[in-house]
């Protein structure tokens, strides 16, 4: 499978805290990579650098032919909107919008008409077994339901790369498996790459490759591919 993302020697400090200390990672199309490691080791910072949300102090991230680290803010936001999908732990759904409007939002931002965007959003809500929540606002549904709505929103644009920070953290094991099976399906069918941070070995078991971040760099890799 072709290489999509390539990070070399990423370094990032916050004041005197070293968050990344020379991290390297390659991610190919169709690959699910589980990023593991202790709290504070730099996992989220690594993901944010890969996704062009945080600019590293030094080092380089390439997405296909684009140097993400050197790209302008508008190029990076176009990349995030058009090519990437995100599932983060907290604060991801817009509270004033219904669930179906939340899922449709990335499509609306790309100029898709409301009716078509909501039809596509509804079909993803169905795949995640939260179709009944479509007309409710996020404050009226459970944390686990909200997490599945957020997964639907990340996948609705059929992104080339999904970045997911603990995507199954609020889910029971059956729903966690459902989300991981859906990621596996997207990887196999559409060549979607999935970079996910998890502490759960049962979730990491769905990945093709596990990487462990320690003290801001990748320390070990175990491959099953
Ligand atoms: N915006 C920030 N400002 C200051 N320090 C930060 C910031 N983001 C991260 N850090 C620090 O950088 C280090 C790495 O943080 P990061 O969130 O990447 O770790 P993590 O492995 O994702 O942790 P966790 O598993 O607890 O989410 C930590 O010491 C953290 O406190």
Ligand 1 centre to CA of 188 (Å) is 32
User: pLDDT-derived band of residue 224, with 50, 70 and 90 as boundaries?
Assistant: very low
How far apart CA 34 and CA 204 sit, in angstroms, is: 6
Q: Which residues form ligand 1's pocket by a CB distance below 6 Å?
A: 14, 17, 19, 37, 39-45
How far apart CA 33 and CA 31 sit, in angstroms, is: 6
**For residue 91, what pLDDT is reported?**
57
pLDDT tens digits, one per residue of 204-218: 999 999 999 999 999
Tokens 């805290």 sit on residue: 17
Inter-axis angle of helices 114-127 and 99-109, nearest 10? 130
pLDDT tens digits, one per residue of 111-168: 999 999 999 999 999 999 999 999 999 999 988 899 899 999 999 999 999 999 988 8
**For residue 167, what pLDDT is reported?**
86
Ligand 1 centre to CA of 111 (Å) is 35
pLDDT tens digits, one per residue of 15-55: 999 999 999 999 999 999 999 999 999 999 999 999 999 99
Nearest CA to ligand 1 atom 28: 40
Domain with CATH 3.40.50.300 in the chain: 1-83+160-225
CB atoms within 10 A of CB 61: 23
Q: Find the farthest-apart pair of alpha carbons in the chain and give their distance in angstroms, rounded.
A: 50
Find residue 211's DSSP bridge partners.
35, 221
Decide yes or no: CATH 3.60.20.30 for domain 1-83+160-225: no
Question: How much is the ipTM here?
Answer: 0.96
Nearest CA to ligand 1 atom 29: 40
Between the CA of residue 17 and those of 20, 21, 83, what are the distances in Å? 9, 10, 31
Could you tell me the pTM of the whole model?
Answer: 0.92
**For residue 225, what pLDDT is reported?**
43
Between the CA of residue 128 and those of 3, 18, 51, 109, 148, what are the distances in Å? 29, 38, 24, 22, 6
């Amino acid at each position: 499978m072709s290489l999509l993302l390539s990070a070399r020697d990423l370094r990032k400090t916050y004041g005197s805290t070293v968050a990344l200390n020379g991290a390297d990672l390659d991610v190919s199309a169709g690959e699910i990579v589980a990023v593991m490691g202790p709290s504070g080791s730099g996992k989220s910072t690594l993901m944010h650098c890969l996704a062009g949300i945080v600019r590293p102090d030094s080092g380089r991230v390439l997405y296909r032919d684009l140097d993400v680290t050197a790209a302008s803010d508008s190029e990076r936001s176009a990349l995030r909107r058009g090519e990437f999908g995100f599932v983060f732990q907290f604060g991801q759904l817009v509270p004033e919008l219904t669930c179906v409007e939340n899922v449709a939002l990335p499509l609306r931002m790309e100029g898709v008409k409301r009716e078509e965007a909501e039809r596509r959003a509804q079909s993803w809500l169905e795949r995640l077994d939260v179709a009944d929540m479509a007309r409710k606002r996020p404050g009226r549904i459970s944390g686990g339901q909200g997490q599945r709505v957020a997964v639907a929103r990340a996948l609705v644009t059929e992104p080339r790369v999904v970045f997911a920070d603990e995507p199954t953290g609020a889910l029971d094991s059956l729903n966690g498996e459902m989300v991981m099976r859906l990621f596996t399906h997207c990887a196999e069918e559409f060549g979607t790459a999935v970079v996910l941070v998890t502490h759960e070995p049962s979730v990491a078991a769905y990945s093709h490759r596990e990487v462990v971040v320690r003290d801001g760099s990748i320390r070990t890799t175990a491959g099953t591919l």
